[in-house]
Each structure stands twice: as structure tokens, then as C-alpha cells.
Structure 1
Amino acid sequence: MRSAPRALTAAVVALGMVGAGASAALAAPVHEGPSARVVAVVSAGAPVHTWFPTIPVTTKSVVNKKRIAKYYTDRSKQIGRCTITTRGGRCTISRGKTATRTIETSFGVSRKSVAASLGFSSSTSVTMQQACTSPSMKKGKTWKAWAQGSRYHYKVQPKTRVAGFTISGKKSKWLYAFDPNPNDITCGLK
């Protein structure tokens, strides 16, 4: 059986690592074997601690988040409509209509994680508590309603932590979320 090289006497073998308080460290090969390469980490005047490699852990963070509108009307989705059937008539869009909470995601981050970071529920539906009545209009005109609420923009950034270090990845494009306020709706002809 072959003995280890003398250079290993004052070094950590293979997976050794200098402690956080080290002022300097040098990683250098000390022995080439037929099946493996042995590496020693030599500390300059600092305690040496044994460590084992950790599995990289990647998380996704919501960054650069901001509420860009408090009273934003989401005109992409109507929550109700009614049509005037008589000349000079009125119509009412009743309360209890359902609005959609939209949350964009990227890099595999969950809808729930984004919502928690922005400070609202991740549920898709919001029941509106407001009604609105049209003014007197011509027969055949249609009165429409849309949800109103807060609009946010943000980005998602992957971050990988391994061996005590954090590596930040490239950020996503701008993403958007809409959180309807149950007590606010916008009504009109268009």
C-alpha cells in the first residue's frame, strides 16, 4: 500500500476547504494517481475546516416590483353588460359579478409566490360588490362594466446558492399583475 505524499500533512485532502476567516488560500494538485486527482487546500495562517460539497439550490425571487396604478381599469375583460330595450331607457349591471385576477409568471415561479411577494391573494376570481346604472340612452345601446384595481409590474430573477455563495441569474422581462378591488368598477359605453 502506497503512503500519501508528505505535502498532505498540512493540507486538507480532496474536499477540504479553508474556513470563512481565512486570509488567503491556495488550491493546488499534490498527487496524480491512476484513478483520481488529489487536491489540497492550503491555508495561510487560518484554521482549516472540513466540508462536503452541497447540492446547488435555485430559487426564484420577485424583484423590481412596483404598483404602477392604483385605479387601473382592466378593459381586456368585461364583467357585465346590459342593453337598452326602449328609447330613453336605463339598465343596471348588478353587483356580484366576477372579475379575474391576472398574474404573469416566468422561470417556473408559481403564481402563489408572485402574489405573496406583491401582497395579495393568488385566487383567480374576485366577486365585485358594486353595481352601476346607465343614464338614459337610445334603444339598442349597450352599457358595459369592467373591473378596477391595482396594477403592478415586476421581474423574476433566479438565484442559485452553493457552497455559501449566491449566484444571481438574468432577470426576466417586465411582467404584470392586476388585483381587482371588489368595491371599484368602471362603467360606460366603451
Structure 2
Amino acid sequence: MSQLRQINKAIRSTIALWVLTALLYPLLMLLSGQIAFSFQANGSLLTNSQGRVIGSALIGQPFRSNRYFWSRPSTIDYSTTEVATTGISGASNLAPSNPELLKRIQAEVTRLKQANIQPTADLVYTSGSGLDPHISPEAAQAQVQHVSTARRIAPNQIQKLIDKNTDGRFLGIFGEPGVNVLKLNLALDALQPNL
């Protein structure tokens, strides 16, 4: 009889812990995320002036128009390729001596110079994830004249937008400041909505 009582107690404990850890705790986390951090919990999605979702503030997107700031290059093309739709991210894993890497870098430098943009490291090299939504403030500065000419906007107006869309260091000490390219380009469109 005592053994049956122990088995019954073990089964009840297992069910109680399962309900607590597999149902109640995840539900509590879901609700607290939706209430306290709704924007982040739903993917940090950004919308245009018409309210249409155009991307996430956490994932880089390609911009090639002269009217916009350009993002870092991506080895996976920022989910515009068939491969990336499966959720793959990551670096190319090409060694610095690999001819393919050297050819890609040279092509990127040539493209930037043809657009009259001074190449910076983050405009030439891909990020580790291949999805980085930020460029350095220096890379944004290198593109000010390019965007200013294409949009016919004074460089000081563009500088204000760069300053507004620059994320500082995490907790003031970790990481480097970065400019979110999608947010900056949305701010440019808000400045000139008819273009």
C-alpha cells in the first residue's frame, strides 16, 4: 500500500510541475511580454506613413537607391534570396585569403566609389549574422553628401536625422553607437513624403 501511495504522489507531483512549468509560466511570460514590451515581443516592426509594415528594426534590409542610406552588405542578401527565406543567417565563412571574398570586397569598394561614397569598414564588410540593421555613425557621415544631392536636402537636415536615429552604447558602456538604417530612411521619407 505504501508503494502505491508513493507512485500516486509522484504522478501528482509530476502533473503539478508540468502544469506550472509547461503551461502557467509560459503563459505568464507571454502576457507580461505583450503588456510591458509589446513592440519588442511582436518583432519590433516598423510601418511607413500609410501604416503598412515594411520591416523590423532588428533586421537589416538592402537599400540601393541614391535617395537612401545604404546598409551593410550581407552574405545572405537580407532575406531577399531563396536561401534566406528559411531563416538562415550567418557569415560567409570565407578566409581572408579566399579569392571570392577579395573579389566581393573589391566590387563593393568600386560600387561605393562610383557613388562618390568613401568606403568604411561596415559598408564593405558583412556582419557576423549577415542581418545587422546598423551602420556606424562614420558610415552614415560618408553617405550624407550622396543622399543630400539625390534628395536636394541640406546636409545639416540630414545630420539631424542621423543624430536622432543613432543608438548609443548599451548601458552606456557596452558595444558601439550605431545608426539604424531602416529608421533613418523612414525619417528621410517622412521629411519628404511626396518623393
TM-score by length of 1: 0.21
User: Relative to total residues, which structure has the larger helix share, 1 or 2?
Assistant: 2
When Rg is computed on C-alpha atoms for both structures, the one with the higher figure is 1
Structure showing greater relative contact order (alpha-carbon pairs closer than 8 Å, 6 or more residues apart): 1
